[in-house]
Every structure is written in C-alpha cells, then in structure tokens.
Structure 1
Amino acid sequence: MRTRMLEAAEELLDASPDRDIATRAVCEAVGVGAPVLYRLFGDKNGLLSALVDYGFDRYLATKRAAAPSEDPVVDLRNGWDTHVEFAKSHPAVYRLMFSPSFATVPSAAQEAMRLLREVLDRCAAAGRLRVESGLAAQMIMSANIGLALNLVTQPENYPDPDLSRRVRDAVHAAVLVPDAGRRRSAEDGSLTVAALQLAAILRDRRTELGDPETALLLHWLDTLAGA
C-alpha cells in the first residue's frame, strides 16, 4: 500500500499544473481513506519526504547496477546520460529530490556523489583526470543537476535535443585529459595528471611502503596536484 500511494502521488504530481497535490486525491487514486495515509506518512509533508526517498532509491539503483567497463571515461559519460534520463522520466520527483528547501542534504545525495567520485578515481588511475576527483565531482554533479532541472522545469526554453550532450562534453573537457592530449601533457612536463594518477593508484592498491611512507607520499602528490 505504501508503494502504491507513492506511485499515485508521483503520477498526480507529474500531471499537476501547479506542481502540487492533495492528500485526498492520493487516497482516492488507490481507493483508501485518509487515515491510511496519515498512518503511513503522518501528513502531506511526510508523504512528500517519503516520495523523495523513493525517488533516490530508484535513482541510486541505476547507479549501483551499472557494471564498470574497461574505460572509466565511458562510464562517466554514461552516468551523466542516465542521470538526465532519470530526471526526464520522473520530472516531479526529480524536482523534489534536488529542491533547495532541504534543511540538510539527504544521505542518498551524498551517496550519489560518492559513486561519482569512485568513477573519477578510476579516471585518475588511468591518467585521464586533470583536476582532483572531489573538485571534478562537484563540477560534474552541479552541472548535471542544473541541466536536468532546467530540462524538466522549463522544457520550452531548452528545445535542443543535443543540449545535454553538449553540456556534458564541455564539462568533461574541463576535468579530463583528452585521448589525443595524454602524450602531449606528459611531454610538456605537466605534473598534475601524473600526480593524480599515482595518488589514485596508491589509494586503491597495497604497496611495499608502510602507512607513514604512503601517507607522506600521498601528501606530496596531493600538493603537486593542487588538491
């Protein structure tokens, strides 16, 4: 019953011109009385909060289910695309998920950022990252959310079907070393990419170095990378 009510609430929100719903309409949609809704969710705010959790559960399920490929850059692009597709498929819930009215950031949003950083750490280990993974994750996630929110709230102002790809490629170009530029960066003596790569490898694999030596080396590498 809880899931049925959440699904009904989402469907009503998607169809609502003023982006609001009445608890009575939700109850009528599933054929129950108001006491059932109050018992399950407390009130309307509780229903909407549960709808946010329900949205993040489905969003994160797509991220967790994505099997890593041999190319982390491809995985990074796919992650952007699945984010936008989720927003377009669940516009009302997506608006709630990334509402600026939250007093605290949902833990699920923090997990989404952590999953993104894991992909970026793989990019760093492959020598493809030009900025520290935490900063890269902030840049990508903020652009991804901003674009998706615009697409679902103002679709008439963003009609270009290739807009998501254009923004994605522009943001990724700012944080990634292009294939053609990998050799050139090394020949130019750039330390940033190499420092990020070695630091990512050290954090992911055990070496013959002891913990103090590893910590010191990571400190030097992070300093070289500007982290």
Structure 2
Amino acid sequence: METERSAPADSNRARIITAAARLLAENGREAVSTRAVSTAAGVQAPTIYRLFGDKQGLLDAVAAHGFAAYLREKTDLPPSGDPVEDLRAGWNLHIGFGLANPALYALMYGEPRPDATPPAALAAAAVLAAHIKRIAEVGRLRIDEARAAQLVHAVGGGTVLTLLATPEDRRDLTLSDLAREAVIAAIVTDAPAPAAPGPAGAAVALRAVLPQTSVMSANERSLLTEWLDRIARG
C-alpha cells in the first residue's frame, strides 16, 4: 500500500493500536484478528508482525495503551492528606475502569501469565503499590506492603470479574463497597500508631521508610529489603 510505505513506523503503530482497540471494544478479543486489524488500519499483515512480534504482542500493546490513557484521564491527581482515602478512591477507579472496559480488563487480568505480566497490569500494580506505601509511611499498615498489595489486587480483581459475570441489570454495586471496606479493615489500622510490638511490626515500619535513606548501596538496600520482608511475614 502506498500510504503504508510512506508512513513512519510510529504512525503505523498508532493506527494499528487504534484499530485493534476499536475492534476489541466493539466485538471482544476474538474480533482482533490479524486480517481484521490490518484491514481496519490500512496496513499489510506483515507490518503488524514486524511492529508487535505476534498477536499477543499486539494485544499487550492495546491493553497498555488503553490503560495508560485511562490513567492520564482519571488518576492524574495529587495525593490527598489521607492515604487510606486515596486507596478507596483508587479502588473505586479500578472497579469503574473494569466495568467500563470489560474486554480490555480481561486482557490485563483474565489470563494470568506469571512469566510475562502484561505491561498494563504492571502499570496498575505500580499505582497500587504507591497507595500501599503511603499508608505504610504514616504507620497505618497492619501487614507488609507486598502482602497488602496482593490482597487488594486479589479482592479487587475478583470483584470486577464477579460483577462482569453478572447481567448488568442485576449487578449489585454495593458488593464493591463491602469488599473494599473488608480489605481496608484487614490491612489498615484505625489511626496512626507506633509499630506493632515485636520484630514483625518493626520490620514493616522500617521497610516503609527505607527509600528515604541514602547511606547504603543499591545492593545493600536490596538485601536489607529482602530481610525485612522475610521478618515482616513471620
């Protein structure tokens, strides 16, 4: 195609992702075939393989693009003075994102790949980890950061998938509120308090503020972080 030959790679990439995202949103994952995307984007099929490697690479790029756009639109806000309220807001945004973008959400979370986590899911995990860290820094986290993030992720993802599996006219959105508050009760103390007695509580508190110190090398910091995580987990 003459248009394709003259278009730079970035232009072709953007057109392909836009076309694939539209097909995904309108008709689900099965609609995102190489033939359909190449036709919709006005490119040859080999261009898709050259830019994305394979269909999974294209789907990962679509998920990353969609989630990045969502983050720019919905979460470009400075933290408030209450990190627990920020976690609540983040939970609500996550649930809303999943319900508004079921096919995209399924790309990110519907088929776990421990050896190759989709970039969009990694971005979401980083946002969640930042929320959890702020709670730990003010002394309100009951358990270690990694375990708290895993619990929020597990329950939040399960909530979205449960609601998506329910016909829209029968969805009870209070399920999300109940799940959110149950998770917060499990990981957050009622008010700022000294670290829990014993080595586990001290490890959680020190782990939260460790990035603020500059007296260790990167290797030393990594090793100490590993030790503190092990102590916090008991």
* Aligned twin of 1:174: 186
Cα distance change of structure 1 residues 88 and 120 upon mapping to structure 2, 3 Å threshold: same
Cα distance change of structure 1 residues 201 and 96 upon mapping to structure 2, 3 Å threshold: closer
Match of 1:115 among 127, 138, 155: 127
Q: Does 1:144 find its partner at 2:156? A: yes
Match of 2:197 among 178, 191, 203: 191
* Aligned twin of 1:22: 33
Amino acid at match of 2:210: R
Q: Does 1:84 find its partner at 2:119? A: no
Taking the TM superposition and a 5 Å limit, the aligned residue runs for 1:117-132 are 117-132=129-144
Cα distance change of structure 1 residues 17 and 53 upon mapping to structure 2, 3 Å threshold: closer
Q: Does 1:95 find its partner at 2:106? A: yes
* Aligned twin of 2:20: 9
Amino acid at match of 2:206: A
Tell me how far apart the structure 1 counterparts of residues 54 and 158 of structure 2 sit (CA, whole Å): 30
Amino acid at match of 2:124: A
167-176 vs 105-114, which moves further = 105-114
Q: Does 1:52 find its partner at 2:30? A: no
SS at match of 1:113: helix
Q: What's the TM-score once normalised by structure 1's chain length?
A: 0.72
Tell me how far apart the structure 1 counterparts of residues 228 and 37 of structure 2 sit (CA, whole Å): 57
Q: Are 2:204 and 2:228, in contact at CA under 8 Å, matched by a contact in 1?
A: no
Mind listing any 5+ residue stretches in structure 2 that lack a counterpart? Answer: 1-11
Q: Deviations over 1:145-175 (max 9, x none)?
A: 22223333x1328610222122111111111
- Greater RCO, 1 or 2 (C-alpha within 8 Å, sep 6+): 1
Mind listing any 5+ residue stretches in structure 1 that lack a counterpart? Answer: none
Tell me how far apart the structure 1 counterparts of residues 34 and 136 of structure 2 sit (CA, whole Å): 48
Tell me how far apart the structure 2 counterparts of residues 63 and 115 of structure 1 sit (CA, whole Å): 12
Tell me how far apart the structure 1 counterparts of residues 82 and 72 of structure 2 sit (CA, whole Å): 21
Tell me how far apart the structure 2 counterparts of residues 128 and 92 of structure 1 sit (CA, whole Å): 36
CA RMSD of aligned residues (A): 3.8
Amino acid at match of 1:199: L
The alpha-carbon deviation at position 65 of structure 1 amounts to 2.6
Q: Deviations over 1:10-36 (max 9, x none)?
A: 222233267443333334434455455
Percent of matched pairs sharing the same residue: 36
Q: Are 1:122 and 1:200, in contact at CA under 8 Å, matched by a contact in 2?
A: no
Cα distance change of structure 1 residues 31 and 113 upon mapping to structure 2, 3 Å threshold: closer
Q: Does 1:203 find its partner at 2:210? A: yes
